Structures are given as structure tokens and as C-alpha cells.
Amino acid sequence: MQMIPGINIKEVLVTGGCGFIGSHFLSKSCNAFPDINFTNIDNLSYAASINTEKYLTQFKNYNFQKIDISDLVQIKEIFEQRKFDLVVHFAAESHVDNSINSPIEFINTNIVGTYNILQCISESVREGKDTLFHHISTDEVYGSLDLNEKSFSELSNFSPSSPYSASKASSDLIVEAWGKTFDIKYLITNCSNNFGPRQHTEKLIPKTVNNILNNKYIPVFGNGTNIRDWLYVEDHIDAILSLYKKNLFINERFNIGGGFEISNIEIINEIISILQEYYGQNDAEKLIKFVEDRKGHDFRYSIDNSKIRMATSWSPSKNFKEQLKNTINWYMLNENWWDQ
């Protein structure tokens, strides 16, 4: 079975594969394509777990190297060791609050890191290697929507609000420019808020679960009415693979959204309800604490995913509550996943 019809894919580089979304891509792809070699480079920052890397070693076609994408020398070395047919670029600093407190880390990883990889691919192209570059990005590059505004499409203007989203918008544009100037074949996908197992506990859903289990207050920015479009991580991976099956690496952008919009306070209350009903965690609503709103806090994200639906026939699952229950159950069984 070919990963991409008509293209001989033997070597795949995945950046940030010990992170949340990248690890799900690797576990599914290593299993589905046993004849392809997958190399994962990750700097194993706080948001990646050693347990995730250990989990991935079960696959015989998996190789890991601890590399920071902001180090051009290291990136050049890995490209000299292997000739990659496909690069899937998940590696990024992604937590908005951290980007407000320390923007330079986001500039170095999300912008300089992307540039470093593109430079190495450019060299490969000059040497006659036809490498495909898939840049994983976010809906946050489009900015914020009001309650009744139309969902973001691939033609929406960029209007980032935070250092994080600005760094991702910058990297998106760098990829497009390198495609036009240096003839790099690329694909850009902009996804909505992902959730599922192995997500770091700084994010809303795992943080809420973890704080309830440890009887800590649940911080809610502003009045909690900010709305996000939620996408189950396995649906996200299925969407990516659906693009590969259609061989859509033709300098295109696709938005990937779950089509399920819910406010922050509503999803917190849903988590509290599940923990009470299935795990006997009572009175957790007393832990909710409204705090000063985040600077530049976007009100609403909403993805129009009609382009990818029409191109591939992919569609997200419609069982958000069941997926949320499965996610919570994973955290109940793996409370110590990030204990190093």
C-alpha cells in the first residue's frame, strides 16, 4: 500500500513526533505503512514525554533522534544521513500564554526552525531530490471571529493576535514563498483545537481533568464564553492521510476543522459532568475560578472544512461527547505520563 499514490515514499521525516499530534501521526502511519522508514526528530521539551517516545519504539520502522529544529547544523546533519521523500512538520511551540511571556522561543522554533528545514529541502531540490514538505499549522493565523461571522476559509486573511499565532502565520508565508522561489512542493494544513490522549496538561481539557483530580482550582479566562472549534486528534490524522491518498501535494492549503463549536465554560462543565457521572468526582464545579482575561484573547474560532471534504470525502466524527469521555479515561489511567 502506497502512502501517496504515484510517488515512491521510502523515507519520511517527522518533526516534533514526541508531541501530541505528531505522536498520533507516527503511531498510525508506522502501523499502516510498515515498508516506510519514519525518522522522528524532537528536542523533548517540557511538552513532550519520554513515555511517548518509549511508546513509539514498538514500531520496527521507527527511528528517533533528539534534535532541535532551531539548530541548523543538526538539521543539515540529519538531511545528510537520509534522503527524505516526505517531511511532515509538526514541531512548534504552541501555548499562547507562553508566547506572551516569552515570544523569542516561538520565533526561534516556529519561524527559524521552519526556515532551517526549508533550507535543507532547498538544497535537496538543487541536488535533484523531489522532497515534499507538509507544514502543520493552526486556525489561529486567521485571528478572531464574532458570534455570527462566517467560518474561516482557506481564502481568509491572516490577522494573528498573539506571538504564537503571528509566528505560525509567518511560517505559513515562508513556506509559500519558498515554494514559489525555490520550487519546493508543499502542503499547508490549518487545523482547529485538537484534543485527545497524550496532550500536555497545560491545555484546557487535560488541565481541567488534572486540576479536578488534584483538587486545584480551574482557571477560566474572562467570563469563559470564548468559543473554539474542537477536532479529535484521530480525526485530524485521518484528514492528513486522506490528503495523501489523493496525492494533493500541489502547493495547496487545506483547513481541517472538527465542526463542533463550544465555549470554554461549557466544555469545562461537560468535563465536570463526565467525571461526576463515571468517576464519582463530586463538587468539582466549586473549583472553577474566573481570572483576568488573556491579552489579545480571540473570541471565536470556526473552520469551514468544505474544501477538504469535497477533495477527499473525509469528514470529522460526530460523537464529541464520546471522544471527550475516551480522552478523560486516558488521563485517568495515565496521570503520571509527564513525570520524567
Catalytic positions, written as ranges: 139-140, 164
CA dist 36 and 12 (Å) reads 7
Q: What is the number of alpha carbons within 13 Å of residue 173 lying toward its C-beta?
A: 12
Beta-bridge partners for 230: 193, 260
Cα-based torsion angle of the residue sequence 73, 74, 78, 80 in order, rounded to the nearest 10 degrees: 20
262 sits in which H/E element: strand 260-263
260 sits in which H/E element: strand 260-263
- Give how far the C-alpha of residue 57 lies from the chain's centroid of Cα atoms, to the nearest Å: 21
| Phi/psi-derived region of residue 67, left when phi > 0, alpha when psi is between -120 and 50, beta in every other case | beta
Cell 485517568 locates to 332
Of 106, 116, 157, 145, nearest to 15 (Cα)? 116
Of 176, 161, 191, nearest to 250 (Cα)? 176
In contact, 203 and 19? CB cutoff 8 Å: no
CA dist 270 and 268 (Å) reads 5
CA dist 137 and 262 (Å) reads 21
- Give how far the C-alpha of residue 194 lies from the chain's centroid of Cα atoms, to the nearest Å: 7
Q: How long a stretch of residues is the chain?
A: 340
* Identity at 198, one-letter amino acid code: R
Instruction: Centre a 10 Å sphere on the Cβ of residue 32 and count the other Cβ atoms it contains.
Output: 11
